[in-house]
Structure 1
């Protein structure tokens, strides 16, 4: 069973780290109104219980040559274990896919795909997704602008 956030202080710790995971313990303690030792104890508990699963570096996609984001909705031809495994294994190996979610509704998966542009995305579809026999349909929407992005951080 997943752990829950204990109180408002834990939530403030998580908010501060979501905004800047490189804060020192002393800076974090000052921002949330705790002593350094109390803050460190709470931080360790949040890590040990799995509430904090890790720390990450956010890289500008443009520096990778990725200037276009596409949302690809995929429907598999059948819901057989071997086809599901084939699709998921393939997706895990593709650098262009930055996120893949199994969803309900008329589609089976939603992929967030980064590419260098329309030609690059077309190659990705033709050379990778369309070559999987388990894929029935692919429907793509292109991201025009990101209004909000908060990957598992908490709101203020």
Structure 2
């Protein structure tokens, strides 16, 4: 999709202020309401905007531990990868799953209440996925920042 200056302005505003009204957005990008709404709908339908959500504070919800887990599968096959991805997507504590290069196959971003609950999660949920050969965990001691906005 070919994005112009106004599209970029709208995307920057929506990334930081997703609840801004169409009228306010239109004012900021110097458009009237209808053309502004039309642009937003076009960005949504072309999947440039793929959703809206509230950003939650994990600590306020008792989720105090962030872990990156490196996972190696027992076999390097399409079937094993598909089974792993389907199973891990069902696990609520897994926030992200990425296929990576190197000695591991996947990198998971996992959140838990504490180290004890993470250990239980690994033993009873993640570890029960049959095609996993190895899991190596790295606990985040302090997250200095986490950006949600993409550079436009």
Structure 1, unaligned runs of 5 or more: none
TM-score w.r.t. length of structure 2: 0.90
Deviations 1:46-83 (A, max 9, x none): 11211111111222222432111000010101112332
Let me know the Cα RMSD of the aligned residues.
1.7
| Structure 2 residue 10 is the aligned partner of structure 1 residue 13 | yes
- 1:31 maps to 28
Q: 1 CA distance for matches of 2:50 and 2:119?
A: 35
- Do 1:100 and 1:112's aligned partners in 2 also have CA atoms closer than 8 Å? yes
CA positional deviation for 1:9: 1.4
Structure 2, unaligned runs of 5 or more: none
- 1:96 maps to 93
Matches within 5 A, 1:46-57: 46-57=43-54
- 2:82 maps to 85
CA positional deviation for 1:34: 1.9
Q: 1:29 to 1:149 in 2, by over 3 A?
A: same
Q: 1 CA distance for matches of 2:39 and 2:78?
A: 42
Moved over 4 A (4+): none
TM-score w.r.t. length of structure 1: 0.88
Residues 46-55 or 67-76, more deviating: 46-55
Q: Secondary structure at the match of 2:63?
A: coil
- 1:64 maps to 61
Q: 2 CA distance for matches of 1:49 and 1:89?
A: 26
CA positional deviation for 1:93: 1.2
Residues 12-21 or 37-46, more deviating: 37-46
Q: 2 CA distance for matches of 1:49 and 1:93?
A: 27
- 1:139 maps to 136
CA positional deviation for 1:155: 3.0
Q: 2 CA distance for matches of 1:154 and 1:31?
A: 19
